[in-house]
């Protein structure tokens, strides 16, 4: 079913704004009567449900407290470990600086001269030697053990070539 629409604008209907044409409304609506409630809203609830809800809130509160305590303990442990790490880093830096200072070339030279009685080489102490640059290799003696020794060497050569040993 199609509804018909009024194509006129209510903005130009001055009769809507004329107060002389309005009729006073009849008072047909009565004021509501107030009821007196003798039972409070808190007492209307089911006691078992109230106990269950209270127990759930208590358990959640205790779980929250336990989580906070565990988190606090972990944070304390982390801070203690961080302090140990910082102290170890400081000790490492001090030992590294001491090591770098103790291995300097001047300290090695001073230790050699003072403690070991060594001195620097002077030009007069240098002495050059000459070597014979002839044949520096020596030939091993030919160990001829006889006919059986030759056969044994030949067999060992074949075994070595084949990779058996």
Number of structural domains found in the chain: 1
Domain range spanning residue 108? 69-124
Question: d(Cα 46, Cα 52) in Å, to the nearest integer?
Answer: 10
Residue 145 CB coordination number (10 Å): 9
Between 48-52, 122-126, 129-133, 153-157, the lowest mean confidence (pLDDT) is in 129-133
Q: Is the pTM of this model over 0.85?
A: no
Are 16 and 10 a contacting pair, CB within 8 Å? yes
- Give the dihedral sign, CA 98/101/105/106: negative
pLDDT of residue 24: 56
* 100 domain residue, yes or no: yes
In this predicted model, what pLDDT tens digit does every residue of 16-55 receive, in sequence order? Answer: 666 665 555 555 566 677 777 666 655 667 888 889 999 9
* 60 domain residue, yes or no: no
In sequence order, what are the residues at sequence separation of 6 or more whose Cβ sits closer than 8 angstroms to the Cβ of residue 159? Answer: 165
In this predicted model, what pLDDT tens digit does every residue of 3-18 receive, in sequence order? Answer: 565 666 655 666 666 6
Question: d(Cα 165, Cα 161) in Å, to the nearest integer?
Answer: 9
* 154 domain residue, yes or no: no
* 42 domain residue, yes or no: no
* 98 domain residue, yes or no: yes
């Amino acid at each position: 079913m199609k509804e018909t629409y009024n194509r006129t604008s209510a903005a130009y209907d001055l009769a809507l704004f004329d107060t002389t044409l309005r009729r006073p409304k009849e008072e047909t609506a009565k004021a509501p009567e107030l009821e007196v409630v003798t039972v409070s809203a808190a007492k209307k609830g089911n006691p078992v449900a109230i106990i269950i809800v209270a127990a759930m809130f208590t358990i959640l509160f205790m779980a929250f407290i336990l989580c906070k305590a565990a988190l606090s303990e972990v944070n304390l442990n982390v801070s203690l470990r961080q302090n140990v790490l910082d102290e170890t880093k400081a000790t490492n830096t001090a030992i590294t600086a001491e090591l770098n200072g103790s291995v300097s070339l001047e300290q090695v030279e001073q230790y050699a001269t003072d403690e070991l009685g060594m001195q620097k080489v002077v030009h007069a102490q240098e002495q050059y030697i000459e070597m014979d640059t002839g044949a520096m290799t020596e030939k091993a003696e030919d160990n001829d053990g006889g006919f059986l020794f030759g056969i044994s060497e030949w067999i060992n050569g074949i075994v070595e070539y084949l990779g058996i040993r």
